C-alpha cells in the first residue's frame, strides 16, 4: 500500500521545516533534502503506530484520505497562496 500526501518545505531561521498538512506532521533539518527525508520517516512511524493502536483508518478518514486502487490519496489543495492581513495596533 502507498500513501500520497502533500509536503510543504519552508525555511525557519537556519532550519528547513517539511510539513504534511493533511496529517499535521512536520520535521526539520539543516537542508531541504534532509527535512524531506525526516518527514517521510515521521509519517511512516506515525502511520505504523496508528495501525498498531487500531486507529489508522479513523485518522485517515478524518484527514480526508480515500482509497484509490492500491493507494491512499489525501485531499487535493485547490489554492495555496501567501496572504497579508493588516492587524490593528491592539493585536500587534
> Rg of the chain's alpha carbons, rounded to an integer?
16
pLDDT value for 26: 97
pLDDT value for 21: 94
pLDDT value for 82: 86
pLDDT value for 91: 59
What DSSP letter does each residue of the chain carry, written as one string? -EEE---EEEEETTEEEEEETTTTEEEEESSHHHHHHHHHHHHHHHHHHHHHHT-HHHHHHHTT-EEETTEEEPPPPS----------TTT-
pLDDT value for 92: 56
Per-residue pLDDT tens, the chain, 92 aa: give them.
799 999 999 999 999 999 999 999 999 999 999 999 999 999 999 999 999 999 999 999 999 999 999 899 999 888 888 899 998 876 55
**Model-level pTM?**
0.83
Amino acid at each position: 500500500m502507498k500513501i500520497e500526501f502533500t509536503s510543504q518545505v519552508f525555511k525557519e531561521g537556519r532550519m528547513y521545516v517539511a510539513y504534511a498538512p493533511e496529517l499535521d506532521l512536520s520535521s526539520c533539518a539543516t537542508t531541504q533534502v534532509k527535512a524531506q527525508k525526516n518527514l517521510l520517516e515521521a509519517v511512516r512511524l506515525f502511520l505504523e503506530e496508528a495501525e498498531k493502536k487500531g486507529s489508522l483508518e479513523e485518522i485517515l478518514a478524518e484527514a480526508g484520505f480515500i482509497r484509490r486502487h492500491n493507494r491512499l490519496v489525501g485531499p487535493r489543495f485547490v489554492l495555496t497562496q501567501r496572504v497579508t492581513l493588516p492587524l490593528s495596533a491592539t493585536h500587534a
